[in-house]
Structure 1
Amino acid sequence: MIGLARGTVKVVPYSFNWKEIYKEEEKLLYHLLGETAIDIQHVGSTSIEGLDSKPIIDIDVGVKSLDDVDKHRNLLEANGYQFRDNAGIEGRVMFAKGREDLRTHYLHIEIINGELWKNHIYFRNYLRLNKEAVEEYSKLKKNLAAKYTNDRGSYTNAKNEFINSILKKAKEEVD
Structure 2
Amino acid sequence: MDLHKGIRKVPYIKIVCHNPICRKEFELPPHQVKRRKFCCVSCSIQVIGRLTTSPKASKGKPGIRADIDPNICFYSTWEANVARVFNFLKIKWVYAPKVFDLGKHTYRPDFYLPQEDKYIEVKNFMGIYSLERDRLFRLKFPKVKLEVLSKLEYNEIEANYKPFIDGWEN
Normalized per residue, which structure has more strand? Answer: 2
Higher relative contact order (CA 8 A, sep 6+): 1
Shorter-chain TM range is under 0.3
Give the TM-score taking structure 1 as reference length: 0.27
Give the TM-score taking structure 2 as reference length: 0.28
